[in-house]
Amino acid sequence: MNVPATLKHSFLLCLFAAAVPLRAIPVPMQVTASTPARVWTEGYGTGNGRLGILSFGVFPKETVVLNEGSIFAKKNFQMREGAAEALDKARELCKEGKYRSADQLFRKNILPPGNIAGDYQQGGRLQVEFQGLPSPSSYQRTLDMRRGKATTRAQFGTGELTTEILAAPSSDCAAYHIACTMPSGCRVSLNLEHPDPSARIVAQPNGWVLEGQGSNGGTRFENTVVILAPGASVTRKGSTIILDSSREVLVLSSISTDYNIRKPEAPLTHSLAAKNARILAKAQKAGWKKLAAETEDYFSRLMTRCQVDLGDSPAGVSAMTTAQRLERVKQGKKDPDLLEQLFQFGRFCTIAHTRPGQLPCGLQGLWNPELRAAWMGCYFLNINSQMNQWPSHVTGLGEFQRSYLDFVRSLRPHGEEFARFIKRDGFCFGHYTDCWKRTYFSGNNPEWGASLMNGAWACAHLVDSYRFTGDREDLKKSLPILESNARFIMSWFEDDGEGRYLSGPGVSPETGFYAPDGTGPNVLSYVSNGTSHDQLLGREALRNYIYACGELGVRTPTLLKA
């Protein structure tokens, strides 16, 4: 699958991770633009690992996306009866060199007709419009990674309008702040909306309450939004709140859900409204300056743990916008400081999109503005989820991998159910899942959907993390799933009659090959036995299990004696 921009940045981060000397004067951790973000992928966002907030739009309009990481739809799917027997038949077809026939068997008798995961869905969009202002004389957007804050600043002949967004980590709320130095203040309209027509938005004296649920009985959530506008004249026009003579406005959002991370099939029953009320009462008491200081302290401590020095950029380049600097690099010019900022942007995404005790980062992170995210915004275990984790330990953010490690361990029950269904031992996993953690083969194309080694790849992070931390207690938590995965591999790999143990039938995800199959000289196919992808992951998984047993003093890995 195509890799979203956030994940590409995280991947590039690893390329630079080998050189991390501290420098006396770190390069400013700022991404800048002098043009509006016309689409959300050009917007600047931040988050606290549970809540995400992103701003985009063309002045005088601004859209502020408000998200929470556990809002997912549910998907109904059934494992296909007879799949185990069809897998055995596909293996025989591959032995006979009938690869195209094996592909067709997967499509007809094994793969489901559609997706098996629910979409990651949003928590609300705040629509903002500034009225009666002239075109700005200058316009600038900044993402300050060290402060965990994104800012839009428009300057006029008689004053300045500034909007800022952040997601406070300890106060656990999202905030949107407006400051206006125009002589008469500014007039601004605000409205809360959601793309799901079944979502219920109730107007309150000082804001709104949005009650919604992920499609098809998914996560139930409530987003309470309050507006603080001292000195402004407040009127309502339908669901829209209009503020006149505004000099400072603070919009606070708290999103609570019924998602139970320990037992997703048993939703939490606490009052979402009461939880939001407690969070917002404390946030209102703190005010904007304290929320901003709290957020800056959190991001600054984490972002400055690691620096990289690739050299110095030419004089004057740092005054350019990020887009201008990227264009220079495309033309072959050097800008080492820009590469350093890209390195830091990967680390910033790690901090903004996950934290211990929460779900790991999905494909759009916490910034999806749609009802249905691209690629469902879920967890792809055939590379994407792993890519998000690669930078963690090597750049001083090891604790941010904990949520992924816990998530992987929690996949074991449904993974073992899947293995039993296809009449194999142990634990295995299809190539993606959602917050409900169910699994099967995914999608109706064997090019990406026919792999069963995704669980092995995910489990590799459990051992890799131990190699960084030496945390034996954490490794003990991982041993059951490592053994279960090893058991699956021992039942999935078969002797080919020549002393070689081959996996299959399966694919190296998104990789095809040309081979004769009796219908023509060379036919594009995907499914085979003993793919390099499967063989390498199987070997690594068995080695990791043996290594973990040795580290924990488990002397008899019985499955390997069988």
The token pair at 436 is 């409900």
My answer on whether 125 and 228 are in the same domain is yes
Question: Are residues 236 and 227 in contact, defined by beta-carbon separation less than 8 angstroms?
Answer: no
d(CA 417, CA 133): 61
Burial class from Cβ neighbours inside 10 Å (0-12, 13-18, 19+) for residue 181 reads: middle
Q: Into how many domains does the chain fold?
A: 2
Give the residue numbers spanning the domain of 468: 83-111+378-555
Question: End-to-end distance of the chain based on CA atoms, in angstroms?
Answer: 38
In a domain, 506, yes or no: yes
Do residues 443 and 475 share a domain?
A: yes
| 16 within domain boundaries | no
**How far apart (Å, rounded) are the C-alpha atoms in residues 381 and 458?**
6
CA 222 and chain centroid, separation: 21
| CATH code of residue 438 | 1.50.10.10
Task: Report, in this order, helix, strand and coil percent for the chain, each rounded to 5.
Answer: 35, 25, 40
Residue 20, CA distances (Å) to 13, 343, 501 in order:
11, 10, 42
> Domain ends where: 289, 313, 346?
289
What token pair was written down for 69? 């990481």
Q: In terms of domains, do 67 and 196 share one?
A: yes
Domain assignment present for residue 3? The answer is no
pLDDT in single tens digits along all 562 residues of the chain:
443 444 344 434 444 443 444 444 567 899 999 999 999 999 999 999 999 999 999 999 999 999 999 999 999 999 999 999 999 999 999 999 999 999 999 999 999 998 999 999 999 999 999 999 999 999 999 999 999 999 999 999 999 999 999 999 999 999 999 999 999 999 999 999 999 999 999 999 999 999 999 999 999 999 999 999 999 999 999 999 999 999 999 999 999 999 999 999 999 999 999 999 999 999 999 999 999 999 999 999 999 999 999 999 999 999 999 999 999 999 999 999 999 999 999 999 999 999 999 999 998 899 999 999 999 999 999 999 999 999 899 999 999 999 999 999 999 999 999 999 999 999 999 999 999 999 999 888 999 999 999 999 999 999 999 999 999 999 999 999 999 999 999 999 999 888 899 998 999 999 999 998 776 678 899 999 999 999 999 999 999 999 999 999 997 665 555 4
Q: Quick check: is 300 in a domain? A: no
Q: Where among 237, 260, 289 does a domain terminate?
A: 289
Q: Are residues 279 and 409 in the same domain?
A: no
Residue 240 lies in a domain: yes
- Identify whether residues 227 and 90 lie together within a single domain: no
* Structural tokens at position 187: 């007039």
Last residue of a domain, one of 242, 267, 289: 289
Q: 394 and 258: one domain?
A: no
CA of residue 395 relative to chain centroid, distance: 18
- 13 part of a folded domain: no
Q: pTM score, two decimals? A: 0.93
Taking the C-alpha atoms of 189, 190, 194 and 199 in order, what is their torsion angle to the nearest 10 degrees? -110
CA–CA separation, 387 vs 381, rounded Å?
A: 10
- Counting every residue written for the chain, the total comes to 562
Q: Is residue 528 part of a domain?
A: yes
Same domain for 134 and 99: no
